[in-house]
Amino acid sequence: MTQPNVTLRGPEVPNTPGSLDPVFTVEDLSVFYGDYEAVRNVDMMIGRREITAMIGPSGCGKSTVLRCFNRMNDLIPGAHIKGKILYHEEDLYGDHVDPIEVRRRIGMVFQKPNPFPKSIYDNVAYGPRVNGMKKNMDTVVEEALNKAALWDEVKDKLKQNALSLSGGQQQRLCIARAIAVKPEVILMDEPCSALDPIATTKIEDLMQELRQEYTILIVTHNMQQAARVSDRTAFFTADVDSAGVRHGRLVEFDQTTRIFTKPSDKRTEDYITGRFG
């Protein structure tokens, strides 16, 4: 493949980088696992109600960066960051910040659908329940499933085990589950990599719907997907330093149209034209 067959969402993107309304501001972020610096010196901004895609070859640290936004990396012993991630005006890693509270506002969908081994209803109700919401659970569940474009398929079998659903349905259930907590941001870590093309299309269409209400960050291996769904794209790659150690870094961050048509960095161009990665 020399020239990727990409469809661009071109003129629909209203924002220029100057007019970006930031939900997150990442300032000189480096992520460490113990002494190992997995990603270094990332600067980027995530715009409100935009879809930001993070692309790059394997091992470039894009998932690592994604997991900083809801402090999932905290769960790994020895993981820590340098630099800053501002969520609105608030330092996400400030001393007084409770990661539990962060994860309520910033939901996450994982690479492999991971519904709980419970009923469809209980899967969606789980988030609200652990957060102490008890009222109108039926409405909350229906609303979340509706927004995730799953209600019509499951409304007659809400008590059925979620593991009986197909992979694509399971992933939309995981999205519904995240929505039920009423987050502002949804992080998606390669949400379609375990799905077939039809299920992938459904998730991509769903993302366009969700974009009206939520800020979405998606890590993807699939460049066409980034080109199809996202407003902005961050291209990551891995550098090997003089000691032979790999560090992920952000090469270029721009509007998706520009990344895929006029990239300003040679490495981005090589990657999107399929010359490496």
Partner 1 sequence: MALLSTPRSQVDLVGKGRPIREHLFRIALLSSLAVALIFLGLLLAYTLTEGWPRLDSRLWENFPSVRRPETSGVLSGIAGTLWIIGLTAVMALPTGVLAAIYLEEYADNTKWYNRLIELNIANLAAVPSIVYGILGLGIIARWLDFGFTVMTGAVTISLLVLPIVIISAREAIRAVPPSIREGSLALGATQWQTIYRQVLPASIPGIATGSILALSRAIGEAAPFLMLGAATLVRFNPDGVWSSFTVLPLQIYNLISQSREEFHILAAAAIVVLLAILLLMNSLAIWLRNRYQKRW
Return residues touching partner 1 (CB under 8 A): 70, 72, 75, 77-78, 100-101, 103-104, 107-108, 110, 112, 114-117, 126-127, 130-131, 163, 174, 177-178, 181
Query: Which two structure tokens, joined as six digits, stand for 197?
Result: 């093309």
- CA torsion sign for 69, 72, 74, 80 is negative
Structure tokens, 96: 């007084």
Q: Looking at beta carbons only, is 18 or 117 nearer to partner 1?
A: 117
**Minimum CB distance to partner 1, residue 103 (Å):** 5
Q: How far is the CB of 195 from partner 1 (least distance, A)?
A: 16
Nearest distance from residue 77's CB to partner 1, in Å? 5
Q: Which residues pair with 79 in a beta bridge?
A: 33
- Smallest gap, in angstroms, from Cβ of residue 111 to partner 1? 9
Q: How many other CB atoms are found less than 10 A from the CB of residue 102?
A: 19
Give 175 or 251: the residue with its C-beta nearer to partner 1. Answer: 175
Q: How far is the CB of 74 from partner 1 (least distance, A)?
A: 9
CB closer to partner 1 out of 191 and 263: 191
CB of 276 to partner 1, least distance (A): 31
How does DSSP assign the chain, residue by residue?
Answer: --S------GGG----GGG--EEEEEEEEEEEETTEEEEEEEEEEEETT-EEEEE-STTSSHHHHHTTTTTGGGGSTTEEEEEEEEETTEETT-TT--HHHHHHHEEEE-SS----SSBHHHHHHHHHHHTT--TTHHHHHHHHHHHTT-HHHHTT-TTSBGGGS-HHHHHHHHHHHHHTT--SEEEEESTTTTS-HHHHHHHHHHHHHHTTT-EEEEE-S-HHHHHHH-SEEEEEEEEE-TTS-EEEEEEEEEEHHHHHHS-SSHHHHHHHTTS--
- Rounded to a whole number of angstroms, the minimum distance from the CB of residue 273 to partner 1 is 35
Question: Considering beta carbons, is residue 132 or 244 the nearer one to partner 1?
Answer: 132
For partner 1, give the closer residue by CB, 174 or 210: 174
Residue 140 or 250 with smaller CB distance to partner 1: 140
Q: Which is nearer to partner 1, 168 or 263 (CB)?
A: 168
